[in-house]
Amino acid sequence: MTAAAIEARGLGKDFGSIRALDQLDLDVREGEFFGLLGPNGAGKTTTVHLLATLLAPTRGTARVGGHDVARDDLAVRRVIGLVFQETTLDRDLTVQENLRFAARLWNLPGRLAVPRIEALVRQFGLFERRADPVRTLSGGMRRAADLARGMLHEPRVLFLDEPTAGLDPRARRSLWDLIRRLRQASGLTVFLTTHYVEEAEPCDRVAVMDHGRLVALGTPADLKRTTGVGSLEEVFLARTGHPLAETGAG
Amino acid sequence: MRAVYGIVVRELVRFRRQRARVLASIGRPFVWLIFAGAGYAAVFAGRNEIDYRVYMAPGLLGMVVMFGALLAALSTVTDRDAGVLRMVLVAPIRRSTIALGKALGATVLGTTQAVVVAALLLPLVHLRPSLADGLLAGLALVLSSLALGAVGLVLAASIRSLENFAGVMNFVVFPMLFLSGALYPVRHLGPVLRLVAYVNPLAYGVDLLKHALLGAWAGAGYGGELSPWLDVAALAGFAVAGLVAAAPLLAREGGVTRTAFRERA
């Protein structure tokens, strides 16, 4: 029996009177590619931040990599990588300087960090630009550098919070290539949040979320079959009564 | 401790890149020396106890420390806006480690700038401190930078956005400077302002610098006004209190998710 990489029980978060996440029960298996699909404001980012110990839960518990997020937050942060919606790199520093900074934050000694950074910038197509300030990089390259930062300490669970937001289709494809290769190379568990159905499609399992609640959970094929529809978009419509992609501002 | 080192190194690399900031921090005290110094020296001219430009020297070093350390600590606001703070918050380190790294970065920057300015300024006003006085001045610079860095962190963590930054400059930085004894002795202030001066970390820093540099004029009433031990204790107190207060504020939820959530909700 493999341990659960992520385990949430009745996990919830309120911001004042706003119920961002109601009560989430969730198990993500080791090595699984798990997708959290929902519109903006569904509670996806809140979920990620709770699991990554950046927020304290209002109710419920969660374990990530076997560590309790409330009691053992340092241990949780040691085994996870997190790529945020917006870049977290210092735009004035070069790619390499950013990665060195991250290596020190993750307590990697230089003899480990230097070859690892070199390998990552090569693997992520950043080698030529490694000495350039992040400010001068294209959106796609910045994302790749963010991902390199998230993978530097070889996490067991990688959280990707809307990783392709604001990227053009080509940059999007190359980012997914990178993520696929990372998954194949190791038993990395990937927890993805997205509001694009096509990004949820290749996931092993998808949790559909709306207004802070889980409305469906299963493999993309199962979800479509049990709902009796042909796409995840229709699954969302059928389960929530409204379309996933809103026409107005989300 | 590697994380603390990493945070300090980042501060230094950033500072080195910002040439305008380096020049401004080195040049500012000389602008004050020339313009404020000329005017006040004329007012002081009738009294022969001390050349006003000599009197200003410790205060100007205090000013360098204040701008250097406080602005370095306040860069935490920019870190939050730019998202860099998130990278630091998701690292497996304690909030107190982050606060310590930021405060030490501010200390190194504040002290270095002040030492460079001192090397240029002191010969200019014919101040030649003995080795012991020089070391005491160095201690004053380090402790003041640390105290102001720590206090700056608390300010930075309490500021919502960069727009409030101007308010901090007007209502914190300038009062702090004028109520520090940098430009005139604190004892000349009225009782209320004097009270405010003594919750001002910079006042203790400048006082300690006067002990180190203006000892020869102590008899005329231009040296340090408080006990140097009190100065040291107060600066250390501000540093510790600032670090303790800043650590939990840095991780405050508003900084990470809540604003993003509000924007969307």
Please give the Cα distance from B114 to B109 (Å, whole number): 9
pLDDT tens, residue order, chain A (250 aa):
457 899 999 999 999 899 999 999 999 999 999 999 999 889 999 999 999 999 999 999 999 999 999 999 999 999 999 999 888 999 999 999 999 999 999 999 999 999 999 999 999 999 999 999 999 999 999 999 999 999 999 999 999 999 988 888 888 898 999 899 889 888 899 999 999 999 999 999 999 999 999 999 999 999 999 999 988 999 999 999 888 875 443 3
Amino acid B254: pLDDT: 47
CB count, 10 Å around CB of B62? Answer: 30
**pLDDT tens digit sequence for B171-223:** 888 889 999 999 888 888 889 998 889 999 999 999 999 999 998 888 888 88
**Is residue B240 scored above 90 in pLDDT?**
yes
CB-neighbour burial class of residue B146 (10 A; exposed 0-12, middle 13-18, buried 19+)? buried
Amino acid A12: pLDDT: 95
CB count, 10 Å around CB of B104? Answer: 20
The complex's ipTM works out to 0.90
Verify whether the Cβ–Cβ distance B256 to A54 is below 8 Å: yes
Please give the Cα distance from A82 to B126 (Å, whole number): 56
Verify whether the Cβ–Cβ distance B6 to A103 is below 8 Å: yes
Amino acid B249: pLDDT: 85
Q: How many domains does chain B have?
A: 1
DSSP A89: S
**Is residue B39 scored above 90 in pLDDT?**
no
More confident residue, B263 or A114: A114
**Is residue B76 scored above 90 in pLDDT?**
no
* Residue B172: alpha-carbon gap to chain centroid: 11
Helices and strands in chain A: count of H runs, count of E runs = 9, 10
Using 50, 70 and 90 to split pLDDT, how confident is the model at B265?
very low
- Chain A positions touching B258 (Cβ under 8 A) are 15
Amino acid B48: pLDDT: 67
Please give the Cα distance from A228 to A219 (Å, whole number): 14
Domain with B119 in it:
2-261
Pull the structure tokens for residue A241. 């009564």
Please give the Cα distance from B17 to A137 (Å, whole number): 18
Amino acid A20: pLDDT: 94
Q: Which of A8-17, B225-234, B247-256 has the lowest mean pLDDT?
A: B247-256
Burial B186-222 (b: 16+ CB within 10 A, else e): beebeeeeeeebeebbbbbbbbbbbbbbbbebeeeeb
**Residue that is written with structure tokens 């210092």 in the block:** A90
Amino acid B172: pLDDT: 85
Q: What is the mean pLDDT of residues B92-104?
A: 93
Q: How far is CA A81 from CA A67, A121, A157, B88, B249, in A?
A: 15, 17, 6, 12, 24
**Is residue B142 scored above 60 in pLDDT?**
yes
Pull the structure tokens for residue B152. 């700056």
The bridge status of strand A189-194 relative to strand A33-37 is parallel
Q: Indicate the SS3 state at residue A227.
A: helix
Q: Which of A40-54, A157-171, B67-81, B112-126 has the lowest mean pLDDT?
A: B67-81
Q: Which of A18-22, B46-50, B118-122 has the lowest mean pLDDT?
A: B46-50
**Is residue B261 scored above 70 in pLDDT?**
no
CB count, 10 Å around CB of A249? Answer: 6
Amino acid B262: pLDDT: 45
CA angle B123, B127, B129 (to 5 degrees): 110
Residue A219 · residue A238 · CB < 8 Å: no
CB-neighbour burial class of residue B226 (10 A; exposed 0-12, middle 13-18, buried 19+)? middle
CA angle B83, B113, B250 (to 5 degrees): 30
Amino acid B211: pLDDT: 95
**pLDDT tens digit sequence for A228-249:** 998 899 999 999 988 887 544 3
Verify whether the Cβ–Cβ distance B92 to A54 is below 8 Å: no
Amino acid B251: pLDDT: 73
Pull the structure tokens for residue B215. 């000892």
**Is residue B44 scored above 90 in pLDDT?**
no
Verify whether the Cβ–Cβ distance A107 to B92 is below 8 Å: yes
**Residue that is written with structure tokens 């090595």 in the block:** A31
Q: Determine the residue of chain B that is closest to A100 in CA distance.
A: B6
For the entire predicted model, the pTM comes to 0.89
Q: How many CB pairs under 8 A join A and B?
A: 95
Verify whether the Cβ–Cβ distance A18 to B86 is below 8 Å: no
Amino acid B258: pLDDT: 44
- Cα dihedral B39/B45/B46/B51 (nearest 10): 130
Q: What is the mean pLDDT of residues B78-94?
A: 89
CA distance A101 to chain B (A): 5
Q: How far is CA A14 from CA A59, A175, B253, in A?
A: 9, 33, 12
